[in-house]
Chain A
Amino acid sequence: MSGQSTYEPKTGFTKWLDARMPIVRLAHDSFVDFPTPKNLNYWYTFGGILAVCLVIQIVTGVVLAMHYVASTDAAFASVERIMRDVEYGWLIRYIHSNGASMFFLAVYLHMFRGLYYGSYKEPRELLWILGMVIYFLMMATAFMGYVLPWGQMSYHGASVITNLLGAIPLVGEGIKTYLQGGPAIGDATLNRFFSLHYLLPFVIAGVVILHIWALHVTGNNNPTGVSVKNVKADTVPFTPYYTVKDGFAIILFLIMFAVFVFYFPNVLGHADNYIEANPLQTPTHIVPEWYLLPFYAILRAVTFDIGPIEAKLLGVIAMFGSILVLFALPWLDTSKVRSMRYRPLAQQCFLGFVIACVVLGFAGANNPDDLVFKFGADKLAMSYTDANGGAAVRTFTEFAEANSFLATLPSSAAGALEVSASGFKWLWVAQIAGAYYFAFFFILLPLLGVIEKPKARPASIADSVHGKKKTTAAAVAATSPGPQTTGSLKPAE
């Protein structure tokens, strides 16, 4: 896409600079004159929003780090000190803690956008993979950040996750010890998490630069998925057209962000994290932040062994697999058509996928053994030791019956009564939604590309915005790619 540069240095200084290091030219070609498809909708504004989020996290994070104390004795109090005694510390901390949620909200919408419009397909595979690297680093950063305030969830969440890594055969224990900085979570863990939490955002910033570079080689995808054929007819320069549109979207996003920061600063968090960490007291529910819940649900959905692999390890494999599969997405989707706008079946499957992700989120927030709904009324289960010394259980609907049965038992039978409810478990919800999650990538996407008959697509972006009649798939295949399409790559449409 990057054609001839149109930048012309005007002053003496910019001419001098341009001859030595054309940095202004680079910025001009990337953010001012960059030809951008004219049909991008608001789903395309999340890239700019994400850049804003990263800057906000880094700026507020650096200020927090000036006051934060990474020690198990002092961390909790130091965060509260920021909230109480540091000038505008409450604001900085709430922006940072809610900012993480906003960042993930934006990244999820950005990713679903990419999924729907086929932005991961040739020639944008690397662009997509770089995005996945950013997302993975974000998860690591947020996980370690959540440990820093040293509340109950910080500690016990870290403990659950590091123990998981311990389940990996051979190297697991080693990795766990390295992460924890010793045999248990303590000062060493907190210090290395703080160090890495400070470091990773800058690594993310570096990968973001690569991500934008890759974007500016291939150019933007667009809602039709049809490549730019004619720069003049199909595109507008990024500035002012998209600076103003992105700017508007960013402001709307900031309004929502501000509503959380100023009026609901703690709703996205967990009350238990305002209780200082206590290794000896495990909270009744250990749950991660909302943005990690779907993966937590997948982790806990695996309750069965397969051959020699135990459930715990399988869960870890499934959890990491659910993220890693996204890296392979460009090669799993076999369709030649980019945008799902023209793929009626894929559209439905995509909707199912979005729903599956949301459902997994809910499943992750609930205890797997809790019931989504009950089948009939609760019953009573009496467990006791029978005459042969074996364990036995009898169920009753009436309390009186249970009681008279208990009266017939000898005291050595140690009868104990419990409520037994049968119903649909959250575990099963997680298993169904998790199965769909994987089926979407491993069955539906590869299969649909082969069996689905796509709808007619516009011949060009200009045609689509001018509402010209659509060509059939055959007609598109017949027209040879115009001179403006990307070099030797043969793009999907």
Chain B
Amino acid sequence: MRLVSALTACVAAASFIAIAQPASAEGKVLHPHGPHEGWEFEGPFGTFDQNALQRGYKVYREVCASCHGMKLLSFRNLGQKGAPFFDEAYPDENSNPKVKQIASEYMVAAFDEETGDPIQVAATTVTAFPSPYANEAAARGSNGGALPPDLSVITKARHGGASYIYSLLTGYVSPPAGLTVSPGLYYNPFFPGDTKPQWAGDPREAPAGGFLAMAPPLREGLVVFDDGTASTVEQMSADVATFLAWAGEPKAETRRMMGFSVIGYLLIMAGLTYASYRRIWRNIQH
């Protein structure tokens, strides 16, 4: 029976190791981080700062939107509760003048009701965010073969969420000596990949990160913020990451608030049920 115990101990030990040391075969990559002050919208009571959302939308609109679509969003979403341009005076987002104005800046394909000829009309609040390219081939054609992903749910589709976006945008550095970067690609220590094939030195010391086809999109002062906030690369990155986190899950604020009351209610119920349990069982030995 020693054998059985020994076997059991082995499996127990293996399980400890299994939990203690995950390892990975891919190249190293830096762990994503958010801005110093952290994210206001994280944690059980997190909420989005509307100014940050508005600045973030501006960065998206003026910079990212030329390559990245957000096809799951419509303009009216920008005026919903918790959204960048929500206004208490306009509970119906479709009548929000700011949202109407944003939409009207875009032209979309339509046809003339009388002649049937194709025409261009101003978008309305119910129009989806227009895509920058007609199709995937056009998108790849303009980006050296790479496809700029749709950003609607990007914070849910990447490990690290908003922190990853922030780290990626602020993390571009000039490649360390010995690392050859192919034309059309850019080195970023936060982008998962493998630098070994491009590294002249000892492959065991190949730098973390990988190469992507997106040139560093932000430059100091690129976007002029309406609220006068200085547009450093860090500021713009944090704001656009905040906007993308909101866009990925517009209902996150509502969700966390509702969770508080649901769990509170359940805790009270648990207390009452436990009291009745004690009372009902008081004369039964068990």
Contact = CB atoms under 8 A, between A and B. Distances in A.
Interface of A: 38-39, 77, 80-81, 83-84, 90-91, 94, 236, 240-241, 244-245, 247-248, 251-252, 254-255, 258-259, 261-263, 265-266, 271-272, 274-275, 284, 345, 348-349, 351-352, 355-356, 358-359, 362-363, 366-367, 369-374, 378, 380, 399, 417-419, 423-424, 429, 432-433, 436, 439, 444, 451, 465-466
Contacts of A374: 23
Given A262-B262, A262-B263, A356 B250 contact: no
Given A38-B286, A248-B273, 4 more contacts: A81-B72, A348-B4, A351-B8, A352-B8
Q: Is the interface of B mostly helix, strand, loop or mixed?
A: helix
Interface residues of B, number: 59
B3 to A, nearest CB: 10
Contacts of B11: 352, 355-356, 359, 432-433, 436
B211 to A, nearest CB: 16
A417 B286 CA distance: 69
Given A241-B280, A369-B25, A380 B202 contact: yes
Nearest to A40: B286
A258 B266 CA distance: 9
21 contacts: A38-B284, A80-B72, A81-B72, A84-B72, A84-B250, A90-B251, A91-B258, A236-B284, A262-B260, A271-B157, A274-B157, A348-B4, A351-B8, A362-B18, A373-B23, A378-B204, A380-B203, A419-B204, A423-B23, A432-B10, A439-B7
B159 interface: yes
Contacts of B277: 244-245, 247-248
Given A244-B280, A262-B262, A271-B157, A433 B14 contact: yes
B153 interface: yes
Contacts of A436: 7, 11
A346 to B, nearest CB: 10
Interface in B235-262: 249-251, 254-256, 258-260, 262
Interface of B: 1, 4-5, 7-8, 10-12, 14-15, 17-19, 21-26, 44, 71-72, 77, 149, 152-153, 156-159, 196, 201-204, 249-251, 254-256, 258-260, 262-263, 266-267, 269-270, 273-274, 276-277, 280-281, 284-286
Nearest to A400: B202
A39 B286 contact: yes
Q: Is the interface of A mostly helix, strand, loop or mixed?
A: helix
B156 A261 contact: no
Given A262-B262, A266-B156, A284-B26, A355 B4 contact: no
B22 A366 contact: yes
A371 B23 CA distance: 6
Which 6 pairs, one residue from A and one from B, show the smallest C-beta to C-beta distance? A262-B259, A399-B202, A352-B8, A274-B157, A274-B156, A362-B18
A352 B12 CA distance: 7
Contact of B24 (A84, A94, A355, A370): A370
A349 B71 CA distance: 54
Contacts of B1: 345, 451
Contacts of A466: 285
B143 to A, nearest CB: 16
Contacts of A370: 23-25
Of A236, A262, A284, A373, the most chain B CB neighbours within 10 A belong to A262
Given A241-B280, A363-B18, A380-B202, A349 B263 contact: no
A248 B268 CA distance: 11
